[in-house]
């Protein structure tokens, strides 16, 4: 990497390659997610639609500063509201996701806006009038998209952060839009995931020919930042396993485990959900 994105925690529309941009929002906390843009010879594609219409419209405004081409596709990395509730602003673009991401959006749709408005009051204004849009094209293992002569691989490695995680890889640029499979400098949230498999998925990414990783939350980084996140997941997983083996309940484990070195990361309180999800896994309740 030529620039230290992490040190700068640069926000806004950031050029990463001649035709590729990250759209990074500050803070990286719940509801404040990142997105991406890839510009081809006659069209552009967007990665994720953000949480609210004002956020999506700001992103679209920035897109218009670098290209006048139509956005014809939005690739949705997973079903969490802060990545898909802005979709209506990109219509009539085609919405593409993993089949399980679509399934999860259909599942949460009936009350997702109400829950998010209550749970994140700062977003409530921006969620007013949102119409939920669903992916209209899905894939299973992997699909390849050709934007001019630029190859974009949209693929799934099983449940990590959520069941329907889709990773977007641009081999020529050694660049990965990881969605929330990557959190940089922000506590990862595993309450819908499979932490053991998430750790394995990160191992697979670390073996790929990747230099730049755009996370779902936090600054643009690379393998060093992804490894740092994996260290957190391994730490939670091992601490929870120790407590589980000692017969501690989930609530006792939450009290016993000190968040320690990760206290400075945003959303440190996600430790509780990560411990509870690890316990579900140890009890054999979670399919991969």
Q: Interface residues with Zn ion (CB under 5 A)?
A: 80, 180
The residue with tokens 């990665």 is 47
Q: How far is the CB of 161 from Zn ion (least distance, A)?
A: 6
Choose between 108 and 143: whose C-beta lies nearer to Zn ion: 108
Residue 95 β-bridge partners:
74
Choose between 40 and 190: whose C-beta lies nearer to Zn ion: 190
Q: What are phi and psi of 65, to 5 degrees?
A: -80, -15
Q: How far is the CB of 201 from Zn ion (least distance, A)?
A: 14
Choose between 180 and 239: whose C-beta lies nearer to Zn ion: 180
Q: How many C-beta neighbours within 10 Å does residue 132 have?
A: 16
Burial class from Cβ neighbours inside 10 Å (0-12, 13-18, 19+) for residue 111 reads: exposed
Could you tell me the two tokens for 39? 């510009």
Choose between 138 and 189: whose C-beta lies nearer to Zn ion: 189
Q: How far is the CB of 183 from Zn ion (least distance, A)?
A: 9
* Residue among 161, 188, 152, 184 nearest 72 (CA): 152
Q: Answer yes or no: are the C-beta atoms of 23 and 34 closer than 8 Å.
A: yes
Q: How far is the CB of 24 from Zn ion (least distance, A)?
A: 16
Helix (H, G, I), strand (E, B) or coil at 82: helix
* Residue among 201, 169, 164, 165 nearest 38 (CA): 169
Choose between 165 and 281: whose C-beta lies nearer to Zn ion: 165
Q: How far is the CB of 277 from Zn ion (least distance, A)?
A: 13
Q: Answer yes or no: are the C-beta atoms of 208 and 169 closer than 8 Å.
A: yes
Choose between 189 and 278: whose C-beta lies nearer to Zn ion: 189
Q: How far is the CB of 215 from Zn ion (least distance, A)?
A: 11
Length of the chain equals: 288
Choose between 73 and 83: whose C-beta lies nearer to Zn ion: 83
Dist. CA 143–CA 27, nearest whole Å: 32
Q: How far is the CB of 250 from Zn ion (least distance, A)?
A: 22
- Phi and psi based region of residue 33 (left: phi greater than 0; alpha: psi -120 to 50; beta: remaining): beta
């Amino acid at each position: 990497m030529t620039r230290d994105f992490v040190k700068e925690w640069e926000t806004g529309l950031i050029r990463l390659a001649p035709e590729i941009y990250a759209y990074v929002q500050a803070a990286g906390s719940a509801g404040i997610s990142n997105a991406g843009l890839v510009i081809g010879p006659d069209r552009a594609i967007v990665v994720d639609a953000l949480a609210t219409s004002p956020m999506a419209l700001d992103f679209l405004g920035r897109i218009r500063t670098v290209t006048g081409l139509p956005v014809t596709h939005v690739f949705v990395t997973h079903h969490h509201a802060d990545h898909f509730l802005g979709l209506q602003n990109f219509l009539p673009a085609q919405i593409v996701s993993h089949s399980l991401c679509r399934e999860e959006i259909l599942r949460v749709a009936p009350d997702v806006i109400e829950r998010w408005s209550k749970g994140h009051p700062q977003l409530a204004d921006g969620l007013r009038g949102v119409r939920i849009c669903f992916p209209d094209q899905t894939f299973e293992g992997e699909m390849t998209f050709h934007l001019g002569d630029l190859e974009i691989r949209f693929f799934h490695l099983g449940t990590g952060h959520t069941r329907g995680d889709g990773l977007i890889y641009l081999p020529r640029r050694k660049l990965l839009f990881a969605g929330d499979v990557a959190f940089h400098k922000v506590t990862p949230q595993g309450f819908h995931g499979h932490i053991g498999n998430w750790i394995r998925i990160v191992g697979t990414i670390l073996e790929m020919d990747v230099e730049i990783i755009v996370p779902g939350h936090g600054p643009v980084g690379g393998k060093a930042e992804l490894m740092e996140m994996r260290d957190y997941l391994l730490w939670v997983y091992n601490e929870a396993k120790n407590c589980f083996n000692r017969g501690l309940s989930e609530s006792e484990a939450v009290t016993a485990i000190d968040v320690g070195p990760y206290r400075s990361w945003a959303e440190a309180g996600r430790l509780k959900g990560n411990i509870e999800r690890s316990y579900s896994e140890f009890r054999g309740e979670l399919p991969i």
